[in-house]
Structure 1
């Protein structure tokens, strides 16, 4: 990765050795810095410097990769850091917080807005030799405060991902804008199953909207595909889950029923956070737990119980119409007893009328697409292609007037409406042409869940005849690394006012 030159708020050091503040500390600190700057000027005249900025990686055992190491334009020697920060020589102010003491120098502290304001004007602290800091943010700890204060005395900063949130919180309190920016860069590079939720919450709290967007997209891509399922489902809050379930960009594997299955596991882990079984036993244990809750509540649907009401806003975003058309899915819904009958009854009615209209009218589907309304009502489907092989599959829930076969061959994805070997849908549905609106996306994710490739079609109307094929995506000459995920949104809406044939 190329070098980046930056005037970053500075670096990281070891623990300090507290001493009492002394008089004349500003002069000592200023002299030490001036002496070092003269040495640096001589070095630059003699030859090019080797301390240009850039990214450096560090392996951190037991966790994700470390953050970046970046050089400042201004250089301060390690001896200044050791003598003035760690040893407190010539200190003119003592900072006390979180049970720790730092003997520091106002000339260095004034580099950040918090202390610059404190030591200027008519503030009481401007003439005090000892400052007691109150920490209003629980994310700030003594280690992070030590790192951030020490950064004012150093020429580089190292931010490990496991500390980035606490350093971000501290930099926000002390008004170190460039350090806040660098924390955002570290977070962007190190989003993973271990960090995504804490980064998302921190981005909201500390004004990093781009990091929030990156984390949300990561969750859309990985919530139903990542192998760290238990870890993710424990961390995702109801507010975030509601947004994810409502999004048309959620990467659904197979069909909408899988979203419901994932939510059952999520609710179980939210209410039973101590569960530590193997991943393959999660759904079984969740089903047993819900069955016990139903017996103990006398058959009351889970979402109407005291425990279940907190999850109602999330389940309200399920697209029930897209999985009650499948008989096995409908049986599971009734057997689980999570969803109230009052939610399901109008959905059954609407789907029955849609089916009758599809079978007994001249309606062939939409002739145009109103994109703003498409995402909220589309059916989400997906498929996992682990390697580069020719294959085909069906999304079984496309049963109203459709028998769609999806084929992958020679780096092309093809839709085909088959009239043969038709296990899904109704027999008369092929008597006339049908139309469906759709959007298809192909995504490749690396081992951390980061999207290394993404290609999407525009929203469009599909209208193939019997056994007709339509090439939807061509991946030739594309830098695609397998495995890949194929995600699609479908919407079939019969034309209103159509009478029977």
Structure 2
């Protein structure tokens, strides 16, 4: 009975001098104790907290309406009012959804006979389109998002363009830009050009300019067309490793692969086999320059954009040009004249280099060169060739890149200009890439004019160590001499022989 009695016992009395009273809050019997008339009631704050919780939305994933529509209407074809037949397959669809497509919207409007038909045969003129691509394209009309495999993106893009599905076209373009690699870039470039995706074409072009010389690949060289290679070689944005002679060497390997597509070997063996192929041609008594032969004519547009003036300024490179006999002698004669007159201007007319901004001249005629820095450290180098007596030393140390005009302080194997002051136009770029060749770090000085006195140094770039990723590629463009007043001809010499059809 003791336990039962304790449960029935009355509540304890309040201590003397105090009294239990309700706070008077409506809706419940609150027993909180008032101390001051102005004090806040505890139950008021609790009520506010409860109200806040009651009015705060909670996310709970229900069965998606889009998923239900896709399953019921598209996959199951329930309540279909139109049958679409294409490539031997049928889809039971709905006009109200098909009208999202510009292709079908036009078909169903006006007086076209298809507007009243319940079964339509669609002709597919594009060989890139298959039934799987059509399945994705039709399905995109019934759902909010579409997953696109990079391996299928070109076919889906083709279907989206035919059906005029702007949203799907845009998603295909984003997928392509995110997945450019050595295996996809040529196909993406051709498809983007065909279907008018200019932003994708530009991205592919940038990838090729960055990777063609820095990450040479046999399969990529086999795929690159004459038209695309011409666009790359003429660009001043091509990342060149090390000098212009390396552009010529890369083209020699590319041309060999175009003419011998069955060649299969390591990249290190490619140049030796290309040289052996050229040597065999000489042994057969062929005296005509290869580009003048029927087999070589298709490659003229590409070799026309090699900046030969920066190859003939190095003796070893000039001898290789003569030995290979790929480039026509008349091209080389014009370039030799060009360089000779430029040297005479430098020596006798006191041409101390470009002093006025001429970006067009710079883009067409600047010397392209580069260097790979495998890891962080101290580096100092110069690019080979007689650069009109301008011996430029480039230093990378302590996160600085420095240009120095060497005249007296460092030994040099060639002639050095002792003019008190020289001008150059330059652009320096830094780049690093991930495993797929995508640019992860990039900096550029932009087009600049610089004046250097004897042995003067100039800090070109101060680098933030947090942004640097190695290997780091340093790419430079230089213009050492002032452009002639008439850029096309001087002394009867064609200044850019490769840019004229007569050459």
Aligned to 1:178: 167
Change (3 A) 1:200 1:49: farther
Which runs of 5 or more residues in structure 2 are unaligned? 1-55, 486-503
Change (3 A) 1:50 1:196: farther
CA contact (8 A) 1:196 1:215 kept: yes
Offset at 1:141? 1.5
2:103 to 114, 139, 144: 114
2:379 to 372, 382, 391: 391
Change (3 A) 1:242 1:231: same
| SS of alignment partner, residue 334 of structure 2 | helix
Offset at 1:367? 2.1
Question: Deviation digits for residues 106-163 of structure 1, max 9, x if unmatched?
Answer: 2332221211222222111122232211112222122111111122233431011111
Structure 1 or 2, whichever has the larger Rg, is: 2
Aligned to 2:312: 324
**Matched residues in 2 for 1:50 and 1:207: separation?**
39
**Matched residues in 1 for 2:348 and 2:144: separation?**
76
1:380 to 354, 368, 382: 368
Aligned to 1:277: 265
Aligned to 1:169: 158
Offset at 1:297? 6.8
**Matched residues in 2 for 1:113 and 1:51: separation?**
32
Aligned to 1:77: 67
Does structure 1 residue 48 correspond to structure 2 residue 59?
Answer: yes
Aligned to 1:443: 431
Offset at 1:462? 2.8
Deviates more, 1:171-180 or 1:110-119: 110-119
Aligned to 1:343: 331
Question: Deviation digits for residues 67-89 of structure 1, max 9, x if unmatched?
Answer: xxxxxxx94234x4344333434
**Matched residues in 1 for 2:442 and 2:57: separation?**
49
What does 1:448-467 align with in structure 2 at a 5 Å threshold?
448-467=436-455
Aligned to 2:49: none
Aligned to 1:482: 470
Offset at 1:205? 2.1
| SS of alignment partner, residue 392 of structure 1 | strand
2:127 to 138, 161, 170: 138
Question: Deviation digits for residues 457-500 of structure 1, max 9, x if unmatched?
Answer: 13223332333211111113551211111111111115879xxx
How many residues are matched? 429
Does structure 1 residue 260 correspond to structure 2 residue 271?
Answer: no
RMSD: 2.3
Question: Deviation digits for residues 258-299 of structure 1, max 9, x if unmatched?
Answer: 000111111112222222111111111112222334445722
Offset at 1:345? 0.4
TM-score, normalised to structure 1, is 0.80
Aligned to 2:6: none
Change (3 A) 1:119 1:290: same
What does 1:90-129 align with in structure 2 at a 5 Å threshold?
90-129=79-118
Offset at 1:396? 0.9
**Matched residues in 2 for 1:352 and 1:308: separation?**
29
Which runs of 5 or more residues in structure 1 are unaligned? 1-44, 53-73
Does structure 1 residue 362 correspond to structure 2 residue 339?
Answer: no
**Matched residues in 1 for 2:460 and 2:386: separation?**
17
| SS of alignment partner, residue 232 of structure 2 | helix
Deviates more, 1:100-109 or 1:368-377: 100-109
Does structure 1 residue 194 correspond to structure 2 residue 214?
Answer: no
2:139 to 150, 154, 159: 150
Question: Deviation digits for residues 35-56 of structure 1, max 9, x if unmatched?
Answer: xxxxxxxxxx98436599xxxx
Offset at 1:195? 1.6
**Matched residues in 1 for 2:445 and 2:339: separation?**
28
Does structure 1 residue 212 correspond to structure 2 residue 194?
Answer: no
Higher relative contact order (CA 8 A, sep 6+): 1
**Matched residues in 2 for 1:127 and 1:373: separation?**
63
Deviates more, 1:397-406 or 1:332-341: 397-406
Aligned to 2:497: none
Structure 1 residue runs of 4+, over 4 Å off? 49-52, 294-297, 494-497
Change (3 A) 1:51 1:381: farther
